[in-house]
Amino acid sequence: MDALRVTSDPTTIAQARVESLVLEYQTKLARYVRRMVGDAEVALDLTQDVFLSAFRMLQADPGRELSAGWLYRAATNAAISFLRRKKILRVLPLDREIDRTTWRVDERSTASLDLQSALKRLPAEQSAALLLTSYAGYSSSEAAAILGTTSDAIRQRVCRAMRVLRATMKEDTDR
């Protein structure tokens, strides 16, 4: 009887479900957010907020389905809000020197820095499209569902993001 009572407690159910979501998605989601915002600490905070939102939602409605897409949508919105709030898109310098302080030595490969440098130049929606597809592994239609747009729009955003990334890589080669 006690066991039944425990398992029917919304908080316990929410905790268990969020725990499994955290175990499965925390790394992917935090990495995705870190690429979006360019800062590990901020990424951790935002990712934590996403899981806490999930927890509160499941606590209120333990039967609700929570997909990875929901987590990515919440994470994207949180990252975009953060970027808008801090006006980072306008304020951050476009050179890559800042990466040297926020990314560890073992993460400073050319590919990693080029990507981050390009992401900083991109509007958040384009960064999200590029990262959701090429980084998180979603198709354009899945990414479209997450971002609330069409797959054509996602393809176009990916193309524009790719153009900036290509220019960044070219600058790197020319240097």
| Residues within window 117-156 making contact with another protein, judged by CB under 8 A | 130, 133-135, 139-140, 152, 154-156
| Residues within window 55-84 making contact with another protein, judged by CB under 8 A | 55-56
31 binds another protein (CB under 8 A): yes
Collapsing DSSP to helix, strand or coil, 45 comes out as: helix
Report the alpha-carbon distance of residue 78 to residue 84 in Å, rounded: 10
**32's tokens:** 């995705």
162 binds another protein (CB under 8 A): yes
CB 89 within 8 A of CB 123: yes
Determine the straight-line distance between the first and last CA of the chain, rounded to whole angstroms.
Answer: 71
Q: Using CB under 8 A as the criterion, which residues of the chain lie in contact with another protein when the complex forms?
A: 15, 18-19, 22-23, 26-27, 30-31, 34, 40, 43-44, 47-49, 51-52, 55-56, 104, 106-107, 109, 111-112, 114-116, 130, 133-135, 139-140, 152, 154-160, 162-163, 165-166, 169
